[in-house]
Amino acid sequence: MIDRLEKFREQVAAEDAAPRGKMGEAALTKLRAMAGQNKIDALDTERFKNGLLSIAPTDAILGKLIERCSKDGKHAGRRAGKLRYWIMAGYLLGREIDSVPLVNFFSELSPDEAKMTDNQFATQWTNESAKKRLKSRLDRGIIKPELVETESKPREWWNPERCRKQGLCKAGKFCVFSTGKGKPKTRADGKQFCGKVCQEAYPIRLGNQKARELVSLAV
């Protein structure tokens, strides 16, 4: 029987027997540099993602985030409103929105949105519409309720409102006499803070936290 694949087997055997060429020193150096840069890029991406997880999605902070992520920074205020809409709809920073391209994608304005008045823009991107979209995503099982941050579930566990109801220091997790895990000290009746020292330190510690949030955006 004629082996029609014989010549192909001979070619494969010849290639296997041929000496393997070694990578030149220049090519090897370039490959190492590329691998090192990829590692740095991966670390920067992870740091940026962690930074997004730590910030409060207010219009002011979102506007600064967009200014740092976009090339021209135009319409940062209006784009911040659009980005906040998607966050309210359950597309959270550091999760669905976890990179510079995605920050720009979710905040990008169409040509019409850039030209319309503030009132016209506000009627298109309302809180009520965002809540309906969030409910739809929850009902369809796209996201789980425990992963969603809403107005009834504040980002900070020891928030001022919860502390007030439980008779705790208004400083919350910034209480200088925290009893552990961020739980503030019990305050005296009729007082907002547990003491004068904590009351004076609260705005400073709160300001430091906000400063850290802004710094994290520059990562």
- Do 135 and 167 have their domain in common? no
- Do 138 and 118 have their domain in common? yes
Give the domain-ending residue among 98, 122, 152. 152
Average model confidence (pLDDT) for the chain? 76
- Do 89 and 190 have their domain in common? no
157-169 pLDDT tens trace: 566 677 777 788 8
- Do 110 and 172 have their domain in common? no
Domain that holds residue 140: 30-152
Can you tell me the distance from the alpha carbon of 172 to that of 49, in angstroms, rounded to the nearest whole number?
26
10-32 pLDDT tens trace: 777 776 666 655 656 776 666 66
Does residue 146 register a pLDDT over 50?
yes
- For the chain, the straight-line distance linking the first and the last C-alpha, in angstroms and rounded, comes to 69
Can you tell me the distance from the alpha carbon of 28 to that of 8, in angstroms, rounded to the nearest whole number?
33
178-202 pLDDT tens trace: 755 567 777 766 688 888 888 888 8
**Higher pLDDT, residue 54 or 121:** 121
Residue 196 lies in a domain: yes
Residue 10 lies in a domain: no
- Do 34 and 142 have their domain in common? yes
Q: Label residue 180 left, alpha or beta by phi (over 0 means left) and psi (-120 to 50 means alpha).
A: left
Torsions phi, psi for 93 (to 5 deg): -65, 135
Residue 19 lies in a domain: no
Give the domain-ending residue among 152, 186, 203. 152
- Do 76 and 95 have their domain in common? yes
- Do 143 and 177 have their domain in common? no
Q: Where are the alpha helices (DSSP H) in the chain?
A: 6-17, 25-54, 59-69, 76-88, 100-107, 111-115, 118-124, 127-139, 160-165, 196-217
- Do 218 and 179 have their domain in common? yes
Beta bridge partners, 93, equal: 97
75-96 pLDDT tens trace: 888 999 999 999 989 888 888 8
- Do 138 and 191 have their domain in common? no
Residue 142 lies in a domain: yes
Give the domain-ending residue among 152, 187, 204. 152
- Do 45 and 135 have their domain in common? yes
Question: How many domains is the chain built from?
Answer: 2
Q: Residue 196 to residues 167, 176, 204: CA-CA distances in angstroms?
A: 16, 11, 14
Q: Going by C-beta distance under 8 Å and a sequence separation of 6 or more, which residues neighbour residue 97?
A: 52, 83, 86, 87, 91, 103, 106
Segment (H or E) for 168:
none
- Do 217 and 117 have their domain in common? no
Residue 12 lies in a domain: no
State the pTM of this model: 0.53
- Do 161 and 67 have their domain in common? no
Cα 73–chain centre separation: 19
Residue 179 lies in a domain: yes
Can you tell me the distance from the alpha carbon of 123 to that of 115, in angstroms, rounded to the nearest whole number?
14
CA angle 97, 218, 82 (to 5 degrees): 40
Residue 9 lies in a domain: no
Q: What secondary structure letter does DSSP report for 92?
A: -
- For the record, the structure tokens of 152 come out as 């009834």
